[in-house]
Every structure is written in structure tokens, then in C-alpha cells.
Amino acid sequence: MPESPIRKLVPYAEKAYKAKKTVFHLNIGQPDIKSPVVAMDAVAHHSLEILAYTRSEGSEGYRTKIADYYKRQNIIVDADDIIVTTGGSEALLFAMGTIADVDDEIIIPEPFYANYNGFATASGIKIVPVISKIENNFALPPIADFEKLITPKTKAILICNPGNPTGYLYSKEEIQKLAAIVKKHNLFLVADEVYREFVYDGLTHYSILEEDGMEDYGIIIDSVSKRYSMCGARIGCLVSKNKEVIRTAIKFAQARLSPPTFAQIASEAALLTPQSYFDEVISEYKERRDILIELLQEIPGVKVGFPKGAFYCIAELPVKNSDDFAQWLLESFDLNGETVMVAPAAGFYSSEGVGKNQIRIAYVLQKESLIKAVNILKKGLEQYPG
């Protein structure tokens, strides 16, 4: 199993804490936004006398309300098209186990969410990368690049939209191109859409299940973690109109019995969160993005992608090895007792040697802390011997 590039530096961060350093965490997508009160209250004021199993696919009431949520997003599904999972992570594992056997292949534009590597390894599946580049802001690579990678072993194309770690938002036209290629080659299109709400600059998110004719080909991965700042709930879902996909994925769901009961209660209540909550959150993240990108662009030798969604960006640094640099920041550097923790980006690629001078930054800190963190990063680069 590959290490998590996000979590493998935790021991060095703990040493920094013990050395009485303040660590600004730019490494992990844990929002500092409060979870919706309605969700927390639903658990606090529950009336359960037995904390029992739910159905393997999740409670019918919750799945019905999820379907209503999707209809408001112009995604027409019903409760039977949804399997509630233990986080989006389990939904990805179920999807891979459902559509691919050992040694089958899934094409993924890279850089991609690092745990796709882990899920594929756990499932015995080979990731075939198609490289998107910082020079064109990680846009969808040409369709010809995908077609030349398709073999008899290819089962799916997997995207994250908006993207983790790049923040890239696929346009409607790009989704339509991907839809056309999966139909042509009889593949699945798996879309990790957990950041659907976080889109900026007047742009809109276009789901693969909004596209006509994707009933047999489309699989959505979703989660409450980032949408409602409920990462610890560990509730997600797999969504597909393909009945055979759902029938097969339910077998995986049955093997792990059921998703957690309290977390479903909280997640069902979270669906009542008013739009004003999202308006405030999106406004806050946009301000953070603008500050972060402006400050990074001022650092000599730094190149940065411009995110259109989610709350991440990839920055290319004037260093040989960002793993070494990230460790050095925690072990050997501080500015007035403060340092930063970043996620080396090589772990977000499966191509050997790519991304070694890049980092992923999550702008989930308050603006004042974000400004401090980027200044520390700048001073660190000035003093870093590598």
C-alpha cells in the first residue's frame, strides 16, 4: 500500500509541537467551518433506545432525501440508485470492486486525489495516468491522449470534479467529451463530485448524470465530509442509474453490514442546511483562494495553478524534492516559533518522478493564518539549502 502524502509527515509535525512550535496546516482538507447546527442537534437530541444496524444500503428515509437533494441539482435519481457508504472512500472502493477485476485498468487524469492510488492497490487494479499540466491549469488532456491508453483491460475513466488536488473545474464541454468516449468504448465514467458546491467566479458545476445517455455508464461518488464540514461523520454514497452496478455494489455493502447510524442521522438532518450557509462558505473560500494565489505568485520561482473550485491548489516550488522540503520545514525551520505543514505532490501522481517539486495546499485556514503561513513558506524557501 502506498503511504498517504498528506498524513505521512504527521510524526514530524508532532515533534514540532513538542518543540513548542506553532504549525499551520496547509496539508489536509479539514475545513475550519463549523458543521451545520441542525446536524449536530439531530444527534444531540436523538430518541433512539437501541443503536441498531441500518440497511446495508443505508436507511430508506435518508436515501430518499438524498435523491431529493440531487433533483435540486438537476440530477434525476431515486432512492434505489443510491448506496450510503462509510465516507466517499468506501464508495470509491465499492465502485472499483464492482466494475473491475484484478489487473484491470482505470484511466485517471493526474495529479489526482492521492488515495485513488491506495484504493486501486487494495483492489488489485492498475491506474493508467493521463497527465494534465500546470502550464494549462490542469485542464482536461486531449481525448486522443485517453484513446491511445484504452486497452481490453480498461474498465473506466475516473475524474474528480472539482478537482482535488488541483481545484480544476471541468466544463460542460469537457464532461460531454468524456461521456462520448466512454460510450464509444463501453467504459464507465466515475466522477468524484464531493466538492460540487464549492465553485467560484460565477461558474457552475455540471454533473456526469446531467448528461443525456449516461444511465448505463455513469457512477457518482459523493460525501458529506466537505459539503457540510462533517469529515468525521464518515458518510458518503455511490450513485448510479445502472441497476447491475447497484446490485453488485450492494454485495460489498452487505459484507461490511451497514453504515453508521448516528452519522446517518446527522447527515440526513444536514440536508436541511439553508443555502445561506453555502453562500457564506463559498464567499469565504473565494476570498482565501484569492489571497493565497496572489501571495504565492509574489514568491520568486513559484508557479501555481488557479483553482476554479474545491479548496486546493498545486504550487510548483524552486526545490528539487518537495518531500525533503516539507520535512525540513517541520524539523529544521521556524519563523518566530511558527512553521507550516504542506502535502508533497508526488504522491498525487502515479507516473514515476512527476510532481517532485510540487506541493498541494489546502486553503482551509482563516485568512490571517493563511497570510502568515504563506509568508513562512516564502522565508523557508529563502533559507532552504535544497
Residue-wise pLDDT tens digits, 159-185: 999 999 999 999 999 999 999 999 999
223: cell is 460525501
Q: Is the pLDDT assigned to residue 28 strictly greater than 90?
A: no
Q: Cα separation of 199 and 62, whole Å?
A: 26
pLDDT of residue 8: 82
pTM over 0.85: yes
20: cell is 513548542
Bridge partners (DSSP) of residue 313 are 361
Dump the DSSP string for 66-135. Answer: HHHHHHHTT----GGGEEEESHHHHHHHHHHHHH--TT-EEEEEES--THHHHHHHHHT-EEEEEE--GG
Q: Cα separation of 347 and 326, whole Å?
A: 13
Which residue bears the cell 490571517?
Answer: 368
- Per-residue pLDDT tens digits for 358-380: 999 999 999 999 999 999 999 99
How many CA atoms, within 13 angstroms, populate the side-chain half-sphere of residue 94?
Answer: 34
Burial group, residue 318, by CB count within 10 angstroms (0-12, 13-18, 19+): middle
Cβ within 8 Å of residue 20, ≥6 positions away: 337
pLDDT band at 75 (very low <50, low <70, confident <90, very high): very high
pLDDT of residue 5: 76
Average pLDDT over residues 77-82: 98
Domains by residue range for the chain, with CATH:
10-34+276-383 (3.90.1150.10), 37-270 (3.40.640.10)
pLDDT of residue 371: 97
